[in-house]
Amino acid sequence: MKIERISRTLIHKGSIIDYYQDEMRIPNGNTAKWDLIDHRGAAACVAVRDDGKLVMVRQYRNALERETLEIPAGGLNKGEEKDTMSAAIRELREETGYVAKEVEPLLSIYTTVAFCNEKIDIYLAKGLERGSQDLDEDEFVDVEYYELNELLKMINEGKIMDSKTICGIQQYALYLKTRYAYK
């Protein structure tokens, strides 16, 4: 199957994403318009306290018009960060106040491959030390703590539907069984 991009047009440049429209030549020889959301990348942490509870954040998400329960995460700072581990450590500290003594890669995901190239690298953070949150002016985040089984149940019941959170928590559960982490 041969697919070829003929052109790419920037439709809108945003603060987090850029929206493009591509003109593509498809296998039957015709052309088609395809949308692309270009994202600079993100990082997240499955942060586990010494007592085994996972550190979660509850915040309002405009796209869903409601609060969600998620693992700490955020985008790479434009022009400042290329390293997702640094971004994950920064986001953990900013959103929760925790600093991790140990951070290791857990897995990487692409969130919506049909139209967006957002990649999130998810890390396991352990050896947590509590500090204070350092939220952005427009950021309001509540920190909550859960047992792994509580979170798995919430995923099963459809109470947690955020893809990075589901992937991170389920991968952590697998990690506990196999001690295998993404490298």
- Residues labelled catalytic: 137
Q: Would you list the DSSP string of 47-98? A: EE-TTSPEEEEEEEETTTTEEEEE-SEEEPPTTT---HHHHHHHHHHHHH-E
- Which residue in 121, 117, 138 sits closest to 39, CA to CA? 117
Tokens encoding 24: 């593509």
User: In degrees, to the nearest 5, what angle opens at C-alpha 110 toward C-alphas 42 and 71?
Assistant: 50
